Amino acid sequence: MELRHLRYFVAVAEEGHVTRAAERLGIQQPPLSQQIRAMEDELDVQLFRRKPRGVELTDAGRALLADARRILGDVDQALSRTRRTGRGEEGRIAVGFTSSAPFHPFVPRVLRNFREDFPQVAMTLDEGGTADLVAAIRSEQIDAAFIRSPVPEGENIATYDILEEPMCVALPKSHRLARGAKTKPVALGDLAGDSFILYRRASGPGLYDGIVGACHDSGFNPRIEQEAPRIVATLNLVASGLGVTLVPESLQAMRLEGIRYLPLATRRKLVAPLRLACRSVDHSAAARRFVAAARKAARTGG
C-alpha cells in the first residue's frame, strides 16, 4: 500500500461518491474503483458499502479514516517542514559575537529582525573572542559571528565588512582630562604618560594593533599596564582608576560609575570595524538567510 492509496481512500470517504472523488483527484472513475477494491483485498476487509447513489464507510473504514487522515497530515507537515528548512525559513542557527559587538545598535537590530521575520528558525547566541569564534565557525559549532578583528583569508572562512565606528577615550573620572565640564576631544599625545589598559591582543589583534599604531603615529609608545580578556573588562579596570583605554563609541552605553568617555582627536583615522564571519561553504539554508539579511541591512543602513 502506498500513500496515494490512502489519499484515494480519504477522498472517496469524504465525498461519499466514487465519481466525485475521481473528479477531485483528477483521475478516472474506473481506476479509482479498482484501487479501492485492491485496498480492500489487501486488508481483507470491506471499507465501503456500495449504495445506489454513492458509498458509505463500514466500521473498518471509519477506523481507517481517522488513521489515514493523521498519516497524511503528518506526511504533509513533514514535507512542508522540509521545504521551509530548505528555504531557510525553519531550522536552527547559532550566532556568535565579541563582547563589544552587541553594544552597537546594528547587532541587536539584525538579530531581532531576523527572529521576527523567521520565527521558526531557532537561534542560539554565544559570546567569545575573535579567535575562539572563528574556530567555532570552522568546527561548525556556530554558523556566523560578529567580530572586530580581521581573519586570515582561506580556511573556509568568509568575512564581510558591516560598518566602522569611531573610537573614544575612556578615562577614570579622577583623570586630569576628565575633570572639566565640557566635552573636549582628547589628543592621543595627551595620554603619552598614562597607563593603558587594552583588550588582549590574542583575543582582538585588530583593535589592539590599531590603538598601538595610532599611539606611534602620535609620537609615543603606549605604556600597557594591563591586558583584559574581554574589551568590556577593560572598562571595569578603568573605573578602578588603573589606567585609560580606547573603545568603540557604542560602548559609551556602559554607564559605569567612575568612568568618563571623551571623543578622540587623532591625525590617523582610528575606527573599530564590525565584520560578519561565516563559513564560505557548507552553510545551512538558515545561515545563508541570516548572512544575507545582515549584509542587506548593512547596505541599507541597518
Considering the domain architecture, whether residues 150 and 215 belong to the same structural domain is answered as no
Q: Structural domain tally of the chain?
A: 3
Instruction: Report, as an integer, the average pLDDT of 98-107.
Output: 92
Considering the domain architecture, whether residues 171 and 248 belong to the same structural domain is answered as yes
Pairing outcome for strands 271-279 and 144-147: antiparallel
Considering the domain architecture, whether residues 158 and 277 belong to the same structural domain is answered as yes
Considering the domain architecture, whether residues 130 and 266 belong to the same structural domain is answered as no
Considering the domain architecture, whether residues 146 and 293 belong to the same structural domain is answered as yes
Interval 121-152: pLDDT, tens: 999 999 988 888 999 999 999 999 999 888 87
Interval 63-97: pLDDT, tens: 999 999 999 888 888 887 777 667 666 788 999 99
- Single out the residue of 274, 277, 263 nearest to residue 302, CA to CA: 274
Residue type, 249: E
* Grid cell locating 58: 463500514
Work out the pLDDT band at 171, boundaries 50, 70, 90. very high
- Of the residues 38, 56, 86, which one is the last residue of a structural domain? 86
Strands (E), 52-188: 54-57, 91-97, 121-127, 144-147, 157-172, 186-187
Q: The domain containing residue 44 runs over which residues?
A: 3-86
CATH number at residue 210: 3.40.190.10
Give residues with Cβ within 8 angstroms of 50, minimum separation 6: none
Considering the domain architecture, whether residues 149 and 278 belong to the same structural domain is answered as yes
Considering the domain architecture, whether residues 174 and 227 belong to the same structural domain is answered as yes
Interval 246-298: pLDDT, tens: 999 999 988 888 899 999 887 667 888 999 999 988 778 889 899 999 999 99
- Of the residues 62, 86, 110, which one is the last residue of a structural domain? 86
- Consecutive H or E run containing 49: strand 48-51
Considering the domain architecture, whether residues 264 and 280 belong to the same structural domain is answered as no
Interval 8-29: pLDDT, tens: 999 999 999 999 999 999 999 9
Work out the pLDDT band at 36, boundaries 50, 70, 90. very high
